[in-house]
Chain A
């Protein structure tokens, strides 16, 4: 997989290395900017409230406030 990418990058070795670095940085940026913020609420650290304002009798599970 990585070998395939390497072979398909243009230029000499230096240019390839530079492009690889750019790819990695771009990938990490995408992760931090979009993917992780989406995934993070699926973890339990966000549930700090007691159920409230959910209307009478709607006692939901341990997920607390719906999100």
Chain B
């Protein structure tokens, strides 16, 4: 085997590896976004068609009423009330009042989130669970935390980079910014209370029912958003907290925060 062959093979190997790296960068920066956008759109479509058919898990709407006031009798949103869940989903049970909506199904979308600070076209599906595959299709609800609009801390994680960059502008969030969610029957408007708070991944207290570092006091209906920090790293997390400011049935149209 001559030197020429060795040198040529080595060069070809280097070229191949370089091409592979470039392709991988293209995949991570571009292709994951393309795939995620498609997946998120289809999740939202799926939700909207479910809502159009009226197969929404009935029974919110009524209770949260006035946001943060503690002690108005609604149960914490653990969703496990046997009586409610026994009904097969989608049987159109509009009869009043199961206090908690049926438990969310893992990996399935159940709500759409709007954050005007990220742009008025920004909307993402919220799926149950924070598995890797789930987070590729939208934002992920920490399964151990309260349900949307319920007492406790409704906590959601999302990618800051890759997979559609849903939380790319996370550091731009400011106190008073609205975070609006809908589950098909009710609009929930949360108000952010802090500038993004940087913490360690092990700081699980941030998604406690009453997150102690948020300045929020006493039990209430809260929301927590988490994403990674720094932008391309995983050494820390960024956190914002919010409290439930207002709710209104979807029939009354979009909430104030989404009109502009």
Say what secondary structure dominates the interface of chain A: loop
Q: A50-B206, A53-B143 are in contact. List 18 more A-B contacts (CB 8 A).
A: A2-B12, A3-B8, A32-B23, A36-B24, A39-B24, A44-B228, A44-B232, A45-B161, A46-B135, A48-B157, A48-B227, A49-B130, A50-B157, A50-B207, A50-B239, A51-B201, A52-B204, A59-B202
Query: Which parts of B122-150 form the interface with A (CB within 8 Å)?
Result: 130, 132, 135, 140, 142-145
Q: Does B74 contact A (CB under 8 A)?
A: no
Complex contact A48–B132 (CB within 8 A)? no
Please give the residue numbers on chain A whose beta carbons come within 8 Å of chain B beta carbons, in ascending order: 1-3, 28, 31-32, 36, 39-41, 43-53, 59-60, 62-65, 67
Knowing A36-B24, A48-B158 are in contact, say whether A62-B201 is a contact too (CB < 8 A): yes
Count of residues in B whose CB is under 8 Å from the partner chain: 42
- Structural contact, B28 and A45, CB atoms closer than 8 A: yes
Measured CB to CB, the closest approach of chain A to B183, in angstroms, equals 22
The residue that B228 contacts in the complex, of A2, A47, A67, with Cβ under 8 A, is: A47
Inside 8 A of A3's CB, which chain B residues have their CB?
Answer: 8
